[in-house]
Structure 1
Amino acid sequence: MAISARTCWLFVLGLGCLPLDALGGDPDSRQAKRLETTRQLSLLIDNEWDWRLREQPTFAAYLGDRRHNSRWPDVSLKAINRRHGHRRAVLKQLAAIDRNILAPGDRLNYDLFRRQYAVSVESHAHRWFLVPLTARDGIQDASSTADVIRFEQVEDYRQWLARLRSFREYMEQTIALMQVGLKERRVHDREVMVRVPAQIARQIVDDPRKSLFYKPFRSFPESVSLSDREKLRGEAVQAISDVVVPAYRHFLKFFNDSYLPGCFPRAGVWQMPRGKEFYAFRCRRFTTTDLTPSQIHDIGKREVKRIRGEMEKVIRQTKFDGSFREFLDFMRTDPRFYYKNAEDLLAAYREVTKRIDPHLVRLFRRLPRIPYGVEAIPMHLAPDTTTAYYRPPSADGLRAGTYFVNLYRPEVRPKYEIEALSLHEAVPGHHLQISLAMELENVPPFRRFGGYTAFIEGWGLYSESLGEELGLYKDPYSKFGQLTYEMWRAVRLVVDTGMHYDGWTRKQAIAFFAENTAKTLFDIENEIDRYIAWPGQALAYKIGELKIQELRRLSEKTLGDKFDVREFHEVVLSRGAVTLDLLEEQVREWLRDQGP
């Protein structure tokens, strides 16, 4: 593909350069060498981005790229091993590029790109790809791919039909992975996976028009003629009836008869071959640190103790007459803290975000150009998923960001969580951070549309702490809600490491969670099941937030009266979602530049 000019000429555009005399030779040859090295790196990064979109058509669709919308990803073992070999070869190509000759901005691209591929190569050895679905996502929810595709012309519908017609092969590849996973004892636990059969069954319909895969054909833009509409609908009915539904029937039988009985009877990847080694790798991957599971467990316990003290101060402000446990029960059960219907709950989420938006200029120099909306999580997903999540905008900005909220059973969705949750998922949390990263100029796409969980989720949790500066948490109950959310992330450090490394049971993890937070039992069980399904991911939030808070304290202490929170936030967000060590490096560099 063509070399991206903006990628190739980073060093010209103010990102700095090495002194020419550091390169040896005469000035013209040194300059030529730097240009050629930068060109090689740019070409490699650009080509690999295109390769990734080809290999991950669902990710491409998520970004709004239509080129691969007719295909499902190839998840055969042959393809997985081919991609592994490709990444190893790319790392060799990268090693041949002289990093030292690059300008600082290009060195950052080099380092982040190398880390991304090195982590993928290391991950392959642990064979987690043999566990291709969880109770939260997987092929049982393949229909949701349609939600990120813009159906604007006949070709968009034909591409979706091509996907439907090839669905059997996608299902067969998935089942083949799971069969190998059973043989190698790389599976999830039965307590969580028991949720999956009902999810599969929802895709088995007698009337294809009621299928979730049929959703795009229920309405058409004016650009599609009436005759084309009828033809497309007929083809969709046939593909769903002949291919999709039979594939799910076969999958349900396999899952119930073979897979579920072969799952572990209890939680924890420690039960897998080299399971503890795998979990230690996941800790490093998701936190971008060298912290061990035991160290993370201890950090979690210390944070639980600290936050507990803050929570007890708030309880005293409410004049509540009772113990900590009794106050948690009061917060979980008193009707004043809950809405009676989903409509009022959704309206409350939207009202809070509108309240936050005007105050962002107090804390941020730049705000995203791309808007966001607040929508309900689809009801077929809501019972088995978490309280809320964020879906970024498409790469071209034509699809806005979306803050999805769970309206299933409003009687277990407390009012006092709404402010903290909205700060995290919308602004100044995920929408602000991710959208600003997407809008970065002179940065390659793998950084604009990717990033590290420790930064992304660490920023989300840090954003919750900004509520008082944004005019929120004005009553003790909403403040307690914020502390409950912070405690929730501290508890994660304890229960995630406990289950996956130390052999805790699901019941133990639920009990520890309930003992320390005001979240409802329904939410707690869903959260614990998420940690079981996604080992190590939940560690990123608190570890990332602790680093950002540490860097803010350092900046406040170093700069004193000259500290400007808007400038600090600009520095933190200026390079996208980087690793925590690189984040610290860029903040310390900024502090050095401020002078005495």
Structure 2
Amino acid sequence: MRRTVLAVALAACCFPVFSAEPATPAAAAASRNEASAALHRLFDSEWERNLRESPENAAYLGDHRYDGRWTDMSLEAIQRREAADREALAALRRIDRAALSPEDQLNYDTFLWLQERAVERQRFREYLQPIGHQGGVQTADGIAEILPFASAADYRNWIARLQALPQVLEQTAALMRAGIEAGSLPPKVLMQRVPGQIAAQVVEDPEASPFYRPFRKMPDAIPAAEQAALRAQARAAISGKVVPAYRGFGRFFEAEYLPRTRDSIAATDLPDGRAYYDFLAGWYTTTRLTADEIHQIGLEEVARIRAGMEKIREEVGFKGDLKAFFQHLRTDPEFFYKDPADLLEAYQALAKRIDPELVKVFRTIPRQPYGVRAIPDNIAPDTTTAYYQPGAVDGSRAGFYYVNLYKPEARPKWEMLALSLHEAVPGHHFQFARGAELPGLPLFRRSAYFVAYGEGWGLYAERLGYDMGLYDDPYDRMGQLAYDMWRAVRLVVDTGMHAKGWSRQQAIDFFMDNSPKTEQDVVNEIDRYIAWPGQALAYKIGQLKISALREEAARELGPDFDVRDFNDAVLETGSVPLETLEAHVRAWIAGRKKKYN
């Protein structure tokens, strides 16, 4: 049933295109060259525009030309960007797709998919909710994690950003006031977490500010006198501009905004909310699945995974039922570290354990390195167990696997292997690093991120631990099932809350009944799904598609199937919609069959 539900139409690139009359080879080549040149000019100009208009995103991608400023979040600037997106779509449609090479047709179709949906989502005016409980202008200091701070110029750029923060906060407040007028407001249960985040920016001593952190240790290459001058400028900017601006923003938030936030949690309660949730489900899963279909897939997966958990419970000789086993896994001290430093060291050691086994499941190993870091303290209480931050596209910055050390007594050892396989290697780090290193792709393809592909790959990567011989402990296998269950539960609770009228507590209870994850994690996860409707659907849907394609490849190729070649084939497209991945893998299977027969 899952295969039937998950079947999606082939991408537009796979439909035949017929010409009214044959062209001569020379004319066809000229047309192809002209169309390709126009296409890549558009890619280049849009790439530059997006970097210029989003300095933060440029920095994440490793381009630091715009490090001295923030994105302009005025309504006028937003409207200009939206108009430019519409024009980019129109310019793309003016290019003759039929005249392009197969490689450029794939580039065309991927860009078309992105631009069509960028324009479609304009109707939902998401900018009217510019902050969330997991981030926003109140945690703007976090970008310092990926900035270089190697020269005096880098520090001057940061000081320029400090001086410009009051304008950013004013623009953000203006958008929030417009959201109040339009009835586009986030749930109160999430926004109640934000005052503490704002308060963390209001300090008496400027050196205690999170924005001052880069100045605590400066490179020796900057002369001592210049270091002192830069530190003085930073303290003045924080005391004179940053802190007063956040203090005023905090008053606005608590007196004017928070009381007007909504008591409901469903995206369908927003203006045009049903259409919005349908759009988000399609955007994140890159499929045409309905909320009801996704909900049913989730229920089926929950039942399947529970059966596997029961087998682990029996294997370890636990005498109680599955609910009692979950409680044992959540509470027994043997499953937890007491000290955050010990937890970080264990994550780092686990990464080193995984690395040498990668050759068992891949032929191509990315060149870009990765590291393991702690999630910053100021956001750790309100964020997830871990996340991955990609390296720079040009290779100038490594990727980093960020782990949550807040309350180590809530971070069980049995989840660490599956989590590391997903977030670091061979999960997100391989997916991003391979994409960045693919030759000949336009830059937007090397950095594109389709959630169903990327998160589906991450969840699929958790299972590769079996192929690598890593799951030799039954509790680690329980952790893998727990993480698989986590993503199956998401299908049920996300659609439940946003399309079926479930309450927040109902979603928490369903999660707790079917997963050994701790209550701290469960509550944070449920709140994330409330804040980010539809995004959580992509993981399991993507994993099911990749797993089904692997089964298909093994069946079709028989003894000629090699998991290393299959995994390389999945990653060699870069991030694409699932229907495009499916077409690519099937073409790869056909090519292998031809080679071996």
TM-score by length of 1: 0.95
Distance 2:523 2:17 in 1: 57
- CA offset digits 1:44-73 (Å, max 9, x no partner): 001100000001100001122111111100
Task: State the distance in 1 between where 2:361 and 2:23 align.
Answer: 48
Map of 1:217 onto structure 2: 215
Are the aligned partners of 2:82 and 2:122 in contact in 1 as well (CA < 8 Å)?
yes
Which residue of the partner structure matches residue 205 of structure 2?
Answer: 207
SS in 1 for 2:124: coil
Report what 2:243 is aligned to. Answer: 245
Is the contact made by 2:394 and 2:436 (CA closer than 8 Å) also made in structure 1?
no
1:544 Cα offset (Å): 0.4
Of the three residues 477, 495, 498, the one matched with 2:496 is: 498
Q: Which residue of 2 aligns with 1:512?
A: 510
Highest relative contact order (Cα 8 Å, sep 6+), 1 or 2?
A: 2
Q: 1:162 aligns with which of 141, 160, 163?
A: 160
Task: Give the distance between the partners of 2:125 and 2:572, measured in 1 at CA.
Answer: 35
- 1:24 Cα deviation (Å)? 3.6
Counterparts in 2 of 1:86-105, with a 5 A limit? 86-105=84-103
- 1:236 corresponds to which of 203, 222, 234: 234
**1:344 alignment partner in structure 2:** 342
C-alpha displacement of 1:446: 0.7
Distance 1:295 1:20, change over 3 A: closer
Of the three residues 525, 541, 557, the one matched with 2:555 is 557
SS of equivalent residue, structure 1 residue 399: coil
CA contact (8 A) 1:283 1:539 kept: yes
| Secondary structure, aligned partner of 1:121 | helix
Distance 1:110 1:235, change over 3 A: same
TM-fit CA distance, 1:121: 0.7
Counterpart of 2:71, as a letter, is P
- 2:136 corresponds to which residue? 138
Q: Does 1:74 align with 2:69?
A: no
Give the direction of change, closer, same or farther, for the CA distance of 1:23–1:366 in structure 2 (3 Å limit): farther
Which residues in structure 2 correspond to 1:178-189 (within 5 Å)? 178-189=176-187
Q: What is the alpha-carbon distance in structure 2 between the residues aligned to residue 471 and residue 222 of structure 1?
A: 46
Is the contact between residue 286 and residue 537 of structure 1 (CA under 8 Å) also seen in structure 2?
yes
Alpha-carbon contact 1:131-1:187 (below 8 Å) kept: yes
Deviations 1:408-443 (A, max 9, x none): 111110010010000001111011111011111100
Aligned to 2:569: 571
1:316-465 to structure 2, matched below 5 A, reads: 316-465=314-463
Quick one: distance in 1 between partners of 2:45 and 2:492? 41
Inter-partner Cα distance in structure 1 for 2:59 and 2:369 = 20
Q: Distance in 2 between matches of 1:152 and 1:414?
A: 37
Displacement of 1:142 in angstroms is 0.4
Residue 222 of structure 1: how far off its partner (Å)? 2.6
User: Of 106, 109, 121, which residue of structure 2 is paired with 1:108?
Assistant: 106
User: Is the CA contact 1:454–1:580 (under 8 Å) kept in the aligned structure 2?
Assistant: yes
Match of 1:522 among 509, 520, 523: 520
In structure 2, C-alpha distance between the alignment counterparts of 1:223 and 1:28, rounded to whole Å: 58
1:424 aligned partner, one-letter code: H
- Are the counterparts in 2 of residues 23 and 101 from structure 1 also a CA contact under 8 Å? no
SS of the residue corresponding to residue 389 of structure 1 reads strand
Code of the residue aligned with 1:448 in structure 2: it is R
User: Which amino acid is the alignment partner of residue 157 of structure 1?
Assistant: Y
| Worse overlay, 510-519 or 171-180 | 171-180
Q: Which runs of 5+ in 1 are unaligned?
A: 1-17
Structure 2 match to 1:117: 115
Identity of aligned residues (%): 50
Deviations 1:362-398 (A, max 9, x none): 1101111111111111111111111000111122323
Match status 1:38 vs 2:28: no
Following TM superposition, by how much is the alpha carbon of 1:26 offset from its aligned partner in structure 2, in angstroms?
A: 3.1
Q: Within 1, Cα distance between the matches of 2:73 and 2:495?
A: 29
Q: C-alpha separation between the residues in 2 aligned to 1:477 and 1:217?
A: 44
CA distance in 1, matches of 2:18, 2:517: 59
Q: Give the whole-Å Cα distance in 2 for the aligned partners of 1:22 and 1:214.
A: 65
Residue 218 of structure 2 contacts residue 227 of structure 2 at CA under 8 Å; is this kept in 1?
Answer: yes
Q: Secondary structure at the match of 1:403?
A: strand
User: Does the 8 A contact of 2:28 with 2:99 survive in 1?
Assistant: no
State the Cα RMSD in Å: 1.5
What is the alpha-carbon distance in structure 2 between the residues aligned to residue 294 and residue 19 of structure 1? Answer: 35
Stretch deviating more after TM superposition (328-337 or 514-523): 328-337
Q: In 1, Cα distance between the equivalents of 2:17 and 2:529?
A: 49
Instruction: Give TM-score, length-normalised by structure 2.
Output: 0.95
1:196 corresponds in structure 2 to 194
* Corresponding residue number in structure 2 for 1:5: none
Q: Are the counterparts in 2 of residues 438 and 448 from structure 1 also a CA contact under 8 Å? A: yes
Q: How many angstroms apart in 1 are the aligned matches of 2:300 and 2:38?
A: 47
CA distance in 2, matches of 1:94, 1:374: 40
The code of the aligned residue for 1:312 comes to E
SS in 2 for 1:465: helix
Distance in 2, matches of 1:471 and 1:129, equals 46
Question: 1:525 Cα deviation (Å)?
Answer: 0.4
Q: Which amino acid aligns with 1:100?
A: A
Matches within 5 A, 1:540-551: 540-551=538-549
1:438–1:449 Cα contact (<8 Å) kept: yes
Structure-1 separation of matches of 2:164 and 2:19: 58
For structure 2, the residue ranges without an aligned partner over 5 or more in a row are 1-15
Residues 91, 114 of structure 1: 8 Å contact kept: yes
**2: distance between equivalents of 1:412 and 1:21?**
63
Once the two structures are TM-superposed, the CA of residue 19 in structure 1 deviates from its matched residue by 12
- The answer to whether structure 1 residue 48 and structure 2 residue 46 are counterparts is yes
Corresponding letter in the other structure for 1:152? A
- Does the aligned pair in 2 maintain the 1:84–1:121 contact within 8 Å? yes
Maintained 8 Å contact 1:403/1:425: yes
CA contact (8 A) 2:17 2:98 kept: no
> Which digits, 9 at most, give the CA deviation of each residue in 1:438-486, with x for residues without a partner?
1111001111112201000000000011111112221221111110000
SS of match in other structure, 1:375: strand
* 1:189 alignment partner AA: P
